[in-house]
């Protein structure tokens, strides 16, 4: 039987369609006796075999990508995961991640996205095919969708992608939404406001955080170092008007004990109350986007920064990250 002759043009066509190496494409075409569609199946089956062998591998590296639609009312952020940082930084891998994100923008769930068409196969099948091409397990390890009257994004070196929604498109909305998305990417808030916490979560967190500080203080005391402040509270949700009133009375008593003239108390008390709130809202500052110190100006929290743009609010945010 005469050997099938495979031209360079045929090899290149298959290579462009699949991203597989030149020799892999040639072998697939030979096995398929020159049939282009069968050659793609050959490469896909190779991908399935590789995927089965690497199923227990950890896709802890990869590329985080975000896309916003033309109206800027919808955004998606995904992570295309792989096994090594070397592959995650490869320009062809990043290009594939961008192609996948373009498709993801048209779907509301990860399941619908994986079932979507990618050049005649599903996204899920494309991941299997590329697992064979690249030789590492590929997976969608992050998928988040966000809708709002105005949506913006920030991506940090393809490792973290954040989406932020605004209630309206105000003047300089592009700057506002990018700044807040950068805040989300860098500070890792998990919720918008302390109002989102339930009482059981706050109670358990309060107990846990106080226990950690008290344990640390035992060691600090042994070393003769300054002890950490043990907070009474950790969230604004706990600071009722009664709590604030008691804190103010305690601050006044402290000023009196220090011998400060009563006529200057009004100038000192606001700072003391601000410090009391700061010391007793550590959970909010860590977890709540609006209550975090703004990364570009720590004199402001995010809520105050947003209010400087006028009648606009943050309606929601999403974040995905590699690893």
Domain 8-53 fold is Helicase, Ruva Protein; domain 3 (1.10.8)
Q: What pLDDT does 165 receive?
A: 97
Q: Is 61 exposed, middle or buried (0-12, 13-18, 19+ CB in 10 A)?
A: buried
Low-confidence ranges of the chain (pLDDT < 70): 1-4, 19-21, 47-48, 50-56
Q: What pLDDT does 81 receive?
A: 94
* Exposed e or buried b per residue across 250-273, where buried means at least 16 C-beta atoms within 10 angstroms of its C-beta: ebbeebeeeeeeeeeeeeeeeebe
Q: What pLDDT does 58 receive?
A: 73
Q: What pLDDT does 55 receive?
A: 66
Count of residues making up the chain: 323
| Domain range summary for the chain, segments of one domain joined by + | 8-53, 61-159, 194-313
Q: What pLDDT does 30 receive?
A: 83
- Nearest-5° Cα angle at 172, 166 to 178: 60
Q: What pLDDT does 297 receive?
A: 92
> pLDDT tens digits, residue range 95-104?
999 999 999 9
> pLDDT tens digits, residue range 156-199?
999 999 999 999 999 999 999 999 999 999 998 999 999 999 99
Residues 6+ apart with CB under 8 A from 230: 210, 213, 214, 217
CATH number of the domain at 61-159, out of 3.30.479.20, 1.10.10.1590, 3.40.605.10, 3.90.25.10? 3.30.479.20
Strand segments, DSSP code E, in the chain are 61-68, 74-82, 117-118, 121-122, 139-147, 150-156, 160-166, 293-294, 297-301, 314-321
Statement: the pTM of the whole predicted model exceeds 0.85: no
């Amino acid at each position: 039987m005469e050997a099938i002759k495979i031209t360079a043009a045929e090899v290149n066509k298959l290579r462009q369609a699949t991203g597989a190496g030149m020799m892999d494409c040639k072998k697939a075409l030979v096995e398929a006796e020159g049939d282009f569609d069968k050659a793609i199946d050959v490469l896909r089956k190779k991908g399935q075999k590789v995927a089965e062998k690497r199923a227990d591998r950890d896709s802890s590296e990869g590329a985080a990508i975000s896309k916003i639609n033309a109206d800027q009312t919808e955004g998606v952020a995904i992570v295309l995961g792989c096994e090594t940082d070397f592959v995650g930084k490869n320009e062809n891998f990043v290009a594939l991640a961008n192609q996948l994100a373009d498709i993801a923008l048209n779907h509301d769930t990860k399941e619908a996205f994986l079932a979507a068409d990618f050049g005649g196969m599903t996204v899920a099948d494309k991941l299997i095919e590329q697992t064979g091409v690249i030789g590492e397990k590929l997976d969608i390890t992050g998928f988040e969708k966000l809708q709002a009257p105005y949506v913006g994004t920030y991506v940090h070196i393809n490792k973290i992608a954040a989406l932020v929604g605004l209630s309206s498109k105000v003047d300089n909305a592009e700057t506002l939404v990018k700044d807040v998305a950068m805040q989300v990417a860098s500070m890792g808030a998990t919720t918008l406001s302390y109002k989102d916490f339930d009482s059981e979560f706050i109670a358990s967190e309060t107990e846990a955080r106080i226990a950690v500080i008290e344990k640390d203080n035992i060691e600090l005391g042994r070393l003769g170092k300054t002890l950490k402040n043990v907070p009474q509270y950790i969230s604004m949700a706990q600071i009722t008007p009664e709590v604030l009133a008691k804190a103010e009375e305690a601050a006044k008593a402290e000023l009196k004990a220090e011998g400060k003239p009563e006529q200057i108390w009004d100038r000192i008390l606001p700072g003391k109350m601000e410090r009391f709130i700061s010391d007793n809202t550590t959970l909010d500052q860590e977890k709540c986007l609006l209550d975090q110190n703004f990364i570009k100006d720590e004199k402001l929290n995010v809520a105050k920064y947003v209010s400087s743009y006028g009648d606009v609010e943050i309606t929601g945010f999403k974040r995905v990250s590699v690893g």
